[in-house]
Amino acid sequence: MTKSTCRDTFVIHKKKLQNDYYSLVLGPLRKINHCQPGHFIHLQVPHTDVMFRRAFSIASIFPEQNALEIIFKVVGRMTRQMSTLKTGDTVNILYPLGKSFTLPRKSETSIMVAGGVGFPPLMFLTEHMMKRGYDPKTIHFFYGGRTSADILCRSRLKRTGVLFHPVTEDGSFGRQGLVTEPIEEFIKFRKKDKLRLYACGPEGMLKAANNLGLQYHIPGQLSLEAPMPCGIGVCLGCVVPLTAGGYARVCAEGPVFEVGEVVL
């Protein structure tokens, strides 16, 4: 695991996406290239009454500007305060943290399973793969949300050239239903191919993706969430039970785990 740095940095750019979703670009930061898809940062706003940092997946990096992007949804105390940040404001971040995704073989077909605020790391993974010369047509990006407003950065995703499969529960964008349904169809249809799963999203989605992986013997990785007091592996607060017994720390052994590795 690489070293992590704890430092003040600035809001370079803030953008309201849709609904309660925001993008924040933070920098300047040293060694931005050490940030890999799956890594997260641990963020703190100064002088707030929220004592602990919050974890945010890195959504992309801008090496020329020594900056990184996170995408967040306003759901509680910290994110509400983050939504009032302005360009030039100071935040403190600890980065990069966690274990990153393992890239697929170029011969494999990747199934991205994204939901809600689980979208950012998979977008990073996808854009990273494009830079590494992967064929966009080997990536099927399934993106689920309750409604159209939950499906972020559509044009950005499309620009990568990957095969985009939006799914919404209310049918307001893309196919109607849960994202796992078309994925199972896809898996059945492409049984012969070497498939690989990458999932990040709400608990139910992760469970379903994990089950699909186990059921159809598709290797892959899941990125988990857990309340993280420390983010660096010292408090033992963020653990998840392992199928092999015992616990693993989501912040240190994860957040990226292999399909079948953890009890969801």
Ligand X SMILES: Cc1cc2nc3c(=O)[nH]c(=O)nc-3n(C[C@H](O)[C@H](O)[C@H](O)COP(=O)(O)OP(=O)(O)OC[C@H]3O[C@@H](n4cnc5c(N)ncnc54)[C@H](O)[C@@H]3O)c2cc1C
> Contact between 255 and ligand X (CB under 6 A)?
yes
- For other proteins, which residue of 63, 105, 227, 244 counts as binding (CB under 8 A)? 227
Question: What's the rounded Cα separation, in Å, for the pair 152 and 188?
Answer: 28
| Contact positions with other proteins (CB under 8 A) in 141-200 | none
> Contact between 49 and its own copies (CB under 8 A)?
yes
Measured from the CB atom, the residue of 214 and 236 that comes closer to other proteins is 236
Binding residues for ligand FES (CB under 6 A): 228-231, 233-238, 249-252
Instruction: Tell me how far, at minimum, the Cβ of 179 lies from ligand X, in Å.
Output: 18
Q: What Cα–Cα distance (Å) separates residue 183 from each residue in 15, 79, 100, 219?
A: 31, 31, 23, 14
> Contact between 226 and other proteins (CB under 8 A)?
yes
> How many residues bind to other proteins according to rule CB under 8 A?
33
Instruction: Tell me how far, at minimum, the Cβ of 42 lies from its own copies, in Å.
Output: 18
Question: What's the rounded Cα separation, in Å, for the pair 218 and 196?
Answer: 6
Three-state DSSP class for residue 146: coil
Three-state DSSP class for residue 222: strand
Cβ atoms of residues 67 and 78 within 8 Å: no
Question: What's the rounded Cα separation, in Å, for the pair 1 and 22?
Answer: 29
| Contact positions with its own copies (CB under 8 A) in 64-93 | 81, 86
Question: Residue 249 binds what, of ligand FES, its own copies, ligand X, none (CB under 5 to 8 Å, by partner type)?
Answer: ligand FES
Sheet of 67-73, strands arranged across: 54-57, 40-44, 90-97, 5-16, 21-27, 67-73, 60-62
Phi, psi of 95 (to 5 degrees): -160, 165
Question: What's the rounded Cα separation, in Å, for the pair 170 and 177?
Answer: 7
> How many residues bind to its own copies according to rule CB under 8 A?
6
Phi, psi of 80 (to 5 degrees): -65, -40
Per CB under 8 A, the segment of 145-153, 174-182, 198-206, 243-251 that binds other proteins is: 243-251
Measured from the CB atom, the residue of 108 and 225 that comes closer to ligand X is 225
> Contact between 168 and ligand X (CB under 6 A)?
no
> Contact between 145 and ligand X (CB under 6 A)?
no
Residues that bind ligand X (CB under 6 A): 40, 54-57, 70-73, 75-79, 117, 120, 225-226, 228, 255
